[in-house]
Chain A
Amino acid sequence: MNRKFRNVVYNTRLYLMLAIYVIVVSFPFYFMALTSLRSQKDVYNKATMLSPTNLILDNYATVINGSNMQVWLTNSIIVGVSSSAVALVIGVLAAYSLARLRFWGSNTLAKSVLFMYLIPSSLLFIPLYIIISNLQLLNTLWALILAYQTFNVPFTTWMLLGYFRTIPAELEEAALIDGCTRLGVLGRIVLPLSAPGIVTAFIFSFTNSWNEFLYAVVLAQRSELRTLPVGIYSFQIADILLWGQIMAAAIIATVPVLALYMLVQRFVVQGLTAGSVKA
C-alpha cells in the first residue's frame, strides 16, 4: 500500500514536470500562431490576449502578396538547395577519401574537419565579406552559396565520414577486384548504402542555410537578394512594428523546417550525436 502510494506520488510529480516542459516549449509557438492570425488592432487587445478568438488570415495574405516575401522565399530555396548540393558533392568526395585512402596525415585531417565546422561565422564574416567583394560577388546569391560552404562542407564531410566508416571495406575490395574503378565503387556501392546519411546530411545543410543570418545580412544587402530571415527582420525597421505580419512570415519560414524535421525525426537524434558529437 505504502509502496503503491509512493509510486502514485512519484508518477504525478514526473508527469507534472513533463507537463511544465511541454507548456514552456509549446507556448511561444502557440502565441506566435495566435499573433499571426490577428489584426494589427487585436494584437494589442489585452482582453483576448490568450484566447483563440477573432482570428483572421489577413496577415498571411498581406505578407504573401504585399511584400517581397515571394522573392525572399525563392532566394532562400535557391540558396538552401544549391549550397547544400555543392556541399554534398564536395563532402562525399572528401569524406570518402578520408575514410578509405590512407595517406600521410589523413587521420589528423579527419579530426580537423570537425574543428573546421566549429569555427564560428562571427570570426569569418568580415574576411568573407572582403574576399567576396574582391571576387565582385557582393550582392549576389552566389555570395551566400559560397559563404555557406564554410559550414556546410565540414558538416556534410564529418557526418558522411561516420556513415562511410560503417560500410565494410571488403565489399569495396571485391568490386575493385572485379574491375570497378574507385569512383565506380563510390557510385555503385558506397552511395546507395549510405543513402539515409546523404539525405540527412542534405536536410541538415539545407536547414542550416535556411536559418543562417549573419552572412546573409552582410553579403546580400539589397532587398531583392535577401533570404527569409533578413527579409522578415526588415518588416520591423518601419516605425510601427507589424507583429501580426512578422509572426505570419515567421510561421511561413518555420513550417518547412519543422516538416523536414518530422520527416527525418529518427535520424535527427542520431544526427545530433553523429553529426556534431561522434562518428
Chain B
Amino acid sequence: MLGLLAYPIANAFDMSLQDRQLGVSGKYIWFGNFIELLTEDRRFRMVVANSVLFTTLSVAGKIVVGMIMALILNARIKFRGMFRGWLLFPWVAPTFVTALTWRWMYDGTAGVINYILLSLGLIELPIAWLADTSTAMGAVIATNIWRGFPFFGVSLLAAMQAIPADLYEAADVDGATNWQKFWNITVPGVRTTLAITTILSTIWTFNDFQIVFLMTGGGPAYATHLFATYAYKVGFEGSRIGYASAISFLLTPILIVMIMALSPLIMKSEQE
C-alpha cells in the first residue's frame, strides 16, 4: 500500500527535475524548474499569494460559521437531528455541482445574487463578481466557506456534546456570563477537535482544484489561480509537464508540516 503512494510521489519528484513536455520524453535539468519557479515566474508568486489568502480566509470563515452552527445546534432546540442533517447538505452535495450553481448565481447579467442585492438597494449597478479582479477571490472564498462549514459544525457539535453538563451548571452557580462560559468551558472542551478539523480543512483547501477551476478557471488575470489549477494549466494546457510537476511538488513541504502537526493531535484524541 505504501507503494501505491510513495511511487507516484517519487515519480513526481523525478519528473520535476526534467524539462519534459507532454508526449515527449525530456532530459534532466536538475533543479532548473524549481529555480525558474522561485526566481523568474511572477505568476507563480501570485499563485502562492492567492493560495495563502484563499486558504486563510476560507478556513477562518469555516471555523466561525461552523462554530456558530454548532452552538445553535447544541442549544435546546427542537428537531436537532433533522436540522443537523439538513445543514450538512452543502458538505454532502458534489463539489462540482456547488461550484457550477454558485457560478450561475454570481452571473454578472442575470445572476440571482445581483438581482437580490439590486432589489434590496444594496448595490446600484450589477457586479461581475467572477470577472472582476477585485471581487473574484472573495466570491470564490464565500462559495468555499458555504461548502465546507458544515464539516466544522458537525464535528464541533459532537465535541460539545461530550462536554459534561455539570461544568456549565457549576459556572452558572458562580454567576458566569455566556461569553465566559464559551471561552472557559466550550472552547477548551472542543480544542482538540477544532485543531484536527482545522488542519484537515487547511490541507484540503490549500489543494483545492474544483471550485476555482469550475468557477473562474483561475482568472481573471490569474487573480484566483491556486497550485493545482496553475499546475494543470501549465502541464495540460501548456504541455510543460516537467515544470507542472515542480509546481505541484512544492505542495509537499506544506503537507509535511500539516501532517506533523496532526500526528500528536490524533494520538491525543484517541486517548481522550
Contact = CB atoms under 8 A, between A and B. Distances in A.
Interface of A: 14-15, 17-18, 21-22, 24-26, 28-29, 31-32, 35, 43-44, 46, 49-50, 90, 94, 109, 111-116, 118-131, 149-150, 153-154, 157, 207, 210-211, 213-214, 217-218, 229, 232-233, 236, 241, 243, 246-247, 250, 253-254, 257-258, 261-262, 265, 268-269, 272-273, 276-279
A81 B248 CA distance: 29
B87 A121 contact: no
Contacts of A258: 89, 92-93
A150 B4 contact: yes
Interface string B247-272: 01101100100110011001001100
Contacts, number: 215
B146 A28 contact: yes
B92 A257 contact: yes
Contacts of A214: 209-210, 228, 232
A94 B3 CA distance: 14
Given A127-B8, A214-B228, A120 B203 contact: yes
A279 B155 contact: no
A236 B217 CA distance: 12
A135 to B, nearest CB: 12
A279 B68 CA distance: 26
Given A14-B75, A21-B87, A118-B200, A131 B232 contact: no
A118 B255 contact: yes
Contact of B112 (A31, A119, A213): A31
Contacts of B50: none
A187 to B, nearest CB: 21
A131 B197 contact: no
Given A17-B68, A26-B86, A154-B5, 12 more contacts: A21-B69, A22-B86, A25-B87, A31-B101, A44-B110, A115-B262, A120-B203, A122-B248, A128-B8, A247-B104, A273-B158, A277-B193
Interface in B102-135: 102, 104-105, 109-110, 112, 115
A49 B115 contact: yes
Contacts of B9: 119, 123-124, 127
Interface of chain B: mostly helix, strand, loop or mixed: helix
A178 B248 CA distance: 53
B15 A130 contact: yes
A211 B210 CA distance: 10
A113 B12 CA distance: 20
Given A29-B89, A126-B231, A214-B228, A273 B155 contact: yes
A250 B99 CA distance: 11
B92 A278 contact: no
A24 B146 contact: yes
B146 A265 contact: no
A258 B92 CA distance: 7
Interface residues of B, number: 78
List the 9 closest A-B pairs by CB distance, nearest first. A122-B228, A120-B207, A127-B11, A127-B8, A229-B96, A122-B207, A211-B94, A127-B12, A250-B97
A126 B251 contact: no
> Among the interface residues A22, A211, A257, which one has the most CB atoms of the partner chain B within 10 A?
A211
Interface in B140-175: 146, 150-151, 154-155, 158
Contacts of B235: 126
B155 A125 contact: no
Interface string B10-46: 0110010000000000000000000000000000000
A28 B90 CA distance: 9
Given A121-B209, A124-B9, A250-B101, A18 B89 contact: no
B77 A18 contact: yes
B171 to A, nearest CB: 17
B181 interface: no
Interface in B56-98: 68-69, 72, 75, 77, 83-90, 92-98
Contacts of A241: 104
B214 interface: yes
Given A218-B236, A257-B93, A273-B158, A123 B98 contact: no
Nearest to B83: A18
B11 to A, nearest CB: 4
B210 A213 contact: yes
Contact of B207 (A32, A121, A217): A121
A185 B77 CA distance: 46
B1 interface: yes
Contact of A14 (B77, B150, B193): B77
Given A126-B12, A127-B12, A131-B8, A18 B72 contact: yes
A125 B5 contact: no
